[in-house]
Structure 1
């Protein structure tokens, strides 16, 4: 979602500040205890270490949010509320327990609160610009498989949507990871098409489900020598149904990663966000073509 850029930029700055502050407190708690507090006490070092560890975990969470195109308004607003809580807590701490801090410590608390206030305001204002995506994509894990789906409502009749969906060579115009699609043989169930990747790699796909005007499915031949993804089994279905004066289409993908448990786990973690972005971009591009043809 392009409208999330501002919010994600402030989340990124917040993440960097939290990680740096947390690392400093965690690794040099004794030194900072001497600087920040008016009188030394045993509890100061372990308190600062706990705070540092918490800030690092918070910063890591913010990194995931800052790099997520699909971060929601609610998620960003919640972070802004937490930041506001930090600022309020800092004010109360200085108000009721200010004697605990040295002059340097008081200044440090105020400076940190100022930065956090900037992050909170930037995130809040950025969150107001975030709009819910028109293409609703999700990725889940079940039984060792990745289940990815995206759906999109379009202002085009079911006939037009079906015509665009069943234009197999035209699929390459909307799929960023495919440069060319050619029908090898057949029509309907048993039809084969060959897909080409951006580097010329190619593989066959066989239609194993077909319902004219409604949907089709393909089993992808991932055993091809130059198939570019670490997937042992892959199946996709493309379906459309009427939706009021328009239509709604969906793409459903079921994939089983290759490799041992560790390799599969790492792939699933990385693929979860990537699949979501790829499917959302594909649905957006497809919808644009469908609606363009509907206007013609």
Structure 2
């Protein structure tokens, strides 16, 4: 398995896991993050599952198309930028543990995006 394929595989597996977790445990996540919107985590989770399917497709059948891999890395960068915004400005009254989770996931996604891009 090439390094690029490895990092893309980790990306889609983590995205699928995260999306499924958000769909199945949205009430618990709302409590952890101090959110009250019952649709927030299911919407993010469903979008993560769509992203995971896209990354899975690229990994299996389109990995030679560097533009698609760059797009995935760009979307990862967008996640990181959004996370940094949440961490810096705290616009929604996110709990301290929620902020830690956002920060840890942002570092992880940033790492995956960087490794994907650098292994093109």
TM score, norm. by length of structure 1: 0.39
* Structure (1/2) with the larger strand percentage: 1
Q: How far does the alpha carbon of each residue in 1:97-116 deviate from its partner, in whole angstroms, 9 at most, with x for none?
A: 25611111001000110110
Distance 2:25 2:75 in 1: 25
> Offset of 1:68 from its aligned partner?
2.3
1:14 aligns with 2:7: no
CA distance in 2, matches of 1:63, 1:91: 26
Is residue 111 of structure 2 the alignment partner of residue 118 of structure 1? yes
After superposition, residues 11-160 of structure 1 pair within 5 angstroms as 11-37=8-34, 40-41=35-36, 43=37, 45-68=38-61, 70-97=63-90, 100-127=93-120
Cα offset for 1:6?
A: 2.0
- Structure 1: segments with no counterpart, 5+ residues: 128-296
Q: Say how many residue pairs are matched.
A: 120
Of structures 1 and 2, the one scoring higher in RCO (CA 8 A, sep 6+) is: 2
* Unmatched runs of 5 consecutive residues or more in structure 2: none
Give the Cα separation in 2 of the matches to 1:92 and 1:50: 19
Which structure has the larger Rg over C-alpha atoms?
Answer: 1
Q: Aligned Cα RMSD in Å?
A: 1.6
- Residue 67 of structure 1: SS of its match in structure 2? helix
TM-score, length-scaled by structure 2? 0.92
Normalized per residue, which structure has more helix? 2
- Structure-1 separation of matches of 2:86 and 2:63: 36
In the TM superposition, residue 77 of structure 1 has moved relative to its aligned partner by 0.9
Moved segments of 4+, more than 6 Å = none
